Amino acid sequence: MSAPRAVKGMHDLLPDRTAHAAWLEARFREVARRWSFDEIRTPVVEPTELFVRSIGESTDIVEKEMYSFVDKGQDALTLRPEGTAGVVRAYVEHAVWTQEPVTRWIYMGPMFRRERPARGRYRQFHQLGAELFGDPGPYADAELIDMLVTFLREAGVADVEVLLNSLGGPEARRAYRHALVEYLEPRRPALSADSQRRLASNPLRVLDSKAPEDREVVAHAPRITDFLNAEDRAHLDGLRAALDRLQVPHRLEPTLVRGLDYYDRTLFEVRGRGGELGAQDAVCGGGRYDGLVETMGGPPTPAVGFAIGLERLMLLAPPPPPPPGTDVFVVAVGAAERLEAAVIARELRAEGLSVETDLRGGSLRSQLRRADRVGARLALLVGSDELARGVVQLRDLRAGRQREVGRDALRAAIRAERSAT
Ligand code: AMP
């Protein structure tokens, strides 16, 4: 049998990329803390019905991309393709509105979509997301977007601009859908096969198509922003004024729609700007979904949220500052000292130092080379003579200096060396 390989579109994160991912997650938690968001975790697997109901039957995700299966108990289950559905399910299941009027949650974790793999598009990827429940006003949207932009900047993305649109409420969407179909129907032959099909099932999605023939037709289509009622318009204007006041860079993008059905009113996206992530690729998508909690069996509850693609963010953001690395490399001079070297290493680890040893032994020189390679500043040479006298040799690998230190004074000596740099 040939050697097993990871599933297509699913990737290992080796330590340098894991360090970047973990650093970004830590930054996200830190920014979220300043905005008073708490983290929640929901299962990776949910009932298939949950996603069909929330994301929408005629979306790409539900039509083609879900990893769905029937388990041994005959339950229809799906690996979550996004985070909001599960978070809303948890919000309703735990009746969170009975405990607090406004809820602010973040989440992070792996998502699964059977898309065609490409740069920045995977079948297992990770999202960092936030949801704010219970506040219908535009300032909630603005506060959330401000948190998002602050995080992206602190993650190292210099050039952030938020693309904004409004899908209006159900009334505006109905009117717009009608006008859009009226515009598209006579132009049907010019559309891609996918869009021709969507024209009947989900015409708004035609606006979202990347096919060049569709883009041309869509460029002159009616704009949703012309169909907003007074309240929708006031919401959008309020949000834009708030973003101006908060100095969050944003631009109205009337063709913006997103591939999930649950949004109404506010919709936003942050895209790559040149660099490794294409200018058409979104690093973050979000919006308001005032009807979803009720659809899931809760009381009418306004909500707004976003999800950032972690892998795409890693394409945009520079790597984090290097981690502190190994403090001390403990070298056993001969085979007889290996066990004692391990004991000394353990004592230093108990002090909070990062310690590496090479207990396979080997020559002094090869162990010192290894110490160099892991970036250790200090080496401890543990020899039999020294052990008999209760001392070790402490060597500064950069300066090439070496001195004898009593075992009981070791911790203080190492701390002194470390703070000397
Ligand atoms: P969505 O849940 O579709 O609104 O996507 C939110 C964000 O998740 C996007 O802006 C991407 O950054 C990321 N994302 C979505 N699908 C994928 C994928 N297949 N691979 C990598 N990242 C993705």
Q: What is the pLDDT of residue 82?
A: 97
Q: Which residue's CA lies nearest to atom 5 of ligand 1?
A: 285
User: With a 6 A CB cut-off, is 356 part of the ligand 1 pocket?
Assistant: no
Q: Tell me, rounded to whole angstroms, the distance of Cα 369 from its chain centroid.
A: 38
CB-CB neighbours of 373 under 10 Å: 10
Q: What is the pLDDT of residue 57?
A: 83
The label of the residue with tokens 């506010």 reads: 266
Q: What is the DSSP letter of 230?
A: H
Give the closest residue to 55 by CA, choosing from 93, 84, 90. Answer: 84
- The CATH code for residues 328-419 is 3.40.50.800
Residue 74, token pair as written in the block: 């005959």
**What are the tens digits of pLDDT across the range 110-121?**
999 999 999 899
Q: What is the pLDDT of residue 243?
A: 98
Domains 15-169+229-316 and 328-419 share a fold: no
Contact 79, 44 (CB under 8 A): yes
Ligand 1 pocket test: pick from 121, 260, 277 the residue with the most ligand atoms within 8 Å of its Cβ.
121
The rounded average pLDDT for each run of 10 residues, N- to C-terminus, in the chain (421 residues) is 93 94 97 98 98 88 94 98 97 98 98 94 98 98 98 93 93 90 94 89 84 90 92 97 97 84 90 73 94 95 98 92 88 92 95 90 90 92 93 92 92 83 60
Contact 81, 65 (CB under 8 A): yes
Q: What is the pLDDT of residue 114?
A: 97
H, E, C per residue of 324-363: CCCCEEEEECCHHHHHHHHHHHHHHHHCCCCEEECCCCCC
Q: What is the pLDDT of residue 63?
A: 87
CATH superfamily of 15-169+229-316: Bira Bifunctional Protein; Domain 2 (3.30.930.10)
User: With a 6 A CB cut-off, is 127 part of the ligand 1 pocket?
Assistant: yes
Q: Which residue's CA lies nearest to atom 23 of ligand 1?
A: 309
> From ligand 1's centre to the CA of 109, what distance in Å?
12
**What are the tens digits of pLDDT across the range 55-93?**
888 788 998 999 999 999 999 999 999 999 999 999 999
User: What is the rounded CA–CA span in Å between residue 413 and residue 246?
Assistant: 50
Q: What is the pLDDT of residue 56?
A: 87
User: With a 6 A CB cut-off, is 309 part of the ligand 1 pocket?
Assistant: yes
- Write down the domain spans for the chain: 15-169+229-316, 328-419
